[in-house]
């Protein structure tokens, strides 16, 4: 992947993020109930959306690898998982800080937060498992199966605030119910778009690393053969 594309995506994402921060801190009004801490929503939720988008990419990559056994799909999956896991961590950290202000506690073991933590731990397990398997084919298959299996947690995270019989401390959905005023939508979706640009740049860097790693493996075999 050309460096130019990576730099362009990274710079565009950063500039768009800075423009959104200007909107968030200097233009849009303060929330009447929560005050300034409400502005954390513009990082907290877009980070989760970005993570789920890239977990989706990882599932596509994993299915692609299981069908074709082409390592390019495996590289796509691991690159996407790594970036998505980082954004899940951003989501968890900002959520915890927001919860400390609104609820007086850093963490509540409710359905939404616990399922999101499970998602983070499952994919962290995926990343930690990979170096432990030496044989590339076996590593690819096991990783793909785990990535698809772990993705089953994503609908649970999504539904955790939508089911009436599930107890949750977390607020309900804010977009489809109209709870989030329209004035907040541009920076909200703007941050999601900026995160997508940055995450894509990071994923391309990881893809390049994976391709170099495959080259290193083949060179090592060549050295041994000589």
Partner 1 sequence: MSSVDITNLHFLFYGYSAAWLIMIGFVFLLVQRSRRIDRELRRLKSLVEEKEKEKQL
Site for partner 1 in 67-106 (CB under 8 A): 83, 86, 89-90, 93-94, 97-98, 100-101
Least separation in angstroms between residue 60's CB and partner 1 is: 22
Enter the tokens of residue 191: 């941050």
The owner of tokens 């690819």 is 140
For residue 208, state whether it binds partner 1 (rule: CB under 8 A): yes
Site for partner 1 in 23-62 (CB under 8 A): 34-37, 39-40, 43-44, 47
For residue 11, state whether it binds partner 1 (rule: CB under 8 A): no
Least separation in angstroms between residue 58's CB and partner 1 is: 16
Residue whose CB is less far from partner 1, 44 or 139: 44
Residues 6+ apart with CB under 8 A from 70: 64
- The CA distance from 37 to 30, in Å, is 9
- Enumerate long-range contacts of 155-163, CB under 8 Å, 24 or more apart: 156/111, 156/115, 157/52, 157/112, 157/115, 157/116, 157/119, 158/52, 160/110, 160/111, 160/112, 160/115, 161/111, 161/112, 163/111
Per-residue binder mask for partner 1 (CB under 8 A), 170-199, x = binder: ----------------------------x-
Residue whose CB is less far from partner 1, 4 or 167: 4
Enter the tokens of residue 85: 């896991």
Residue whose CB is less far from partner 1, 13 or 140: 13
Residues 6+ apart with CB under 8 A from 197: 9, 10, 12, 13, 16
Quick check: 67 and 156 in contact, CB under 8 A? no
Site for partner 1 (CB under 8 A): how many residues?
A: 34
Residue whose CB is less far from partner 1, 122 or 198: 198
Name the 3-class secondary structure at 128.
helix
For residue 154, state whether it binds partner 1 (rule: CB under 8 A): no
| Residue (of 223, 182, 209, 190) closest to 76 by Cα position | 209
Least separation in angstroms between residue 187's CB and partner 1 is: 13
Q: Give the one residue of 45, 151, 202, 207 binding partner 1; rule: CB under 8 A.
A: 202
Binding interface with partner 1 (CB under 8 A) = 34-37, 39-40, 43-44, 47, 83, 86, 89-90, 93-94, 97-98, 100-101, 198, 202, 205-206, 208-209, 212-213, 215-216, 219-220, 222-223, 226
């Amino acid at each position: 992947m050309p460096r130019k594309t990576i730099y362009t995506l990274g710079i565009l994402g950063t500039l768009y993020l800075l423009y959104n921060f200007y909107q968030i801190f200097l233009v849009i009004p303060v929330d009447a109930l929560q005050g300034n801490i409400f502005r954390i929503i513009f990082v907290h939720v877009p980070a989760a959306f970005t993570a789920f988008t890239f977990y989706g990419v990882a599932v596509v990559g994993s299915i692609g690898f299981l069908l074709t056994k082409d390592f390019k799909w495996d590289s796509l999956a691991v690159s996407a998982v790594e970036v998505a896991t980082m954004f899940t961590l951003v989501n968890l950290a900002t959520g915890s800080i927001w919860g400390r202000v609104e609820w007086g506690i850093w963490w509540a073991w409710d359905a939404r937060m616990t399922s999101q933590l499970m998602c983070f731990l499952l994919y962290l397990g995926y990343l930690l498992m990979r170096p432990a398997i030496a044989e590339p084919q076996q590593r690819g298959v096991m990783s793909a199966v785990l990535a698809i299996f772990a993705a089953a947690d994503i609908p649970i995270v999504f539904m955790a605030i939508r089911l009436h019989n599930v107890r949750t401390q977390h607020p309900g959905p804010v977009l489809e119910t109209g709870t989030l005023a329209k004035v907040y939508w541009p920076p909200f979706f703007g941050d999601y778009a900026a995160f997508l640009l940055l995450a894509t740049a990071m994923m391309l860097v990881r893809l390049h690393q994976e391709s170099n790693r495959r080259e290193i493996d083949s060179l090592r075999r060549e050295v041994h053969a000589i």
